[in-house]
Structure 1
Amino acid sequence: MKRRRLHRWVFAAAGVYNIAWGLWAAVDPQWLFRVAEMPPAVHPQIFTAMGMVIGLYGVLYLEVARRPEQGWLIAAVGLAGKVLGPIGLAGLIATGKWPLATVVMCATNDFVWWVPFGLYLLDAWPYYRATWGEQQE
């Protein structure tokens, strides 16, 4: 696979980052609200649950790092979340429900991963396509 070493490093880093972020959200579900100078969340359990999901994505990213030739679908779903999350946040900001300062969450969780995940998807596509084609026969 083209740039295999780079992709393994990126997904290992993404895995560790997501697991750490998920744990932090469980330990301190009010951090974003403090950073963005918002009132505390009434139901911080929702942020904790989001952290759990993000942490579980981290486990999946570690699997992509372990076997990059077989991680295309996981990475595609991950990148979709990293695009859809900021779109949802943009809606909250546009309607005035959340302040612009909350973009800090997307800066580290989403934007920094767009290029490396996209590059991986391009490089891994032939492997996914070959495997998917074999299963269709």
Structure 2
Amino acid sequence: MILVTGAGSGIGRATALRAAELGLAVAAWDLNGDTVAATAAQINADGGTALALACDVGDAGQVDAAFVRSRELGTIRHLANVAGPPLRWRWSSRRRWCCAWAACGEWWTYGCPAARPRERRW
């Protein structure tokens, strides 16, 4: 099973679709519930297995809840951390850059430690 953040659009969506084509179950996470639901619906319609989860990877509580739901598909063996700021953002301000980097930092702070203790079973 693979967990793909940012699976609602762009590279995250393409990663989720390709992983499903290769036979992996997909836990698809995205901040936008509608777009991630569309990604999971396409995977399921094509005969794959996917679970769509609206999740802000910068929120520890949402990340923990999404990990619990993701495990309904099995053990998380792969991670594609593709979540990033929306393309419509204007990168003209220092604040925008700080927000983008903070989101990445929060994922490594909240997301990865939440996965590690439960998924290291080898």
TM-score range normalised by the length of the shorter chain: 0.3 to 0.5
Of structures 1 and 2, the larger Rg is shown by 1
Which protein is richer in helix relative to its size? 1
Bigger strand fraction: 2
* TM-score between the two structures when normalised by the length of structure 1: 0.32
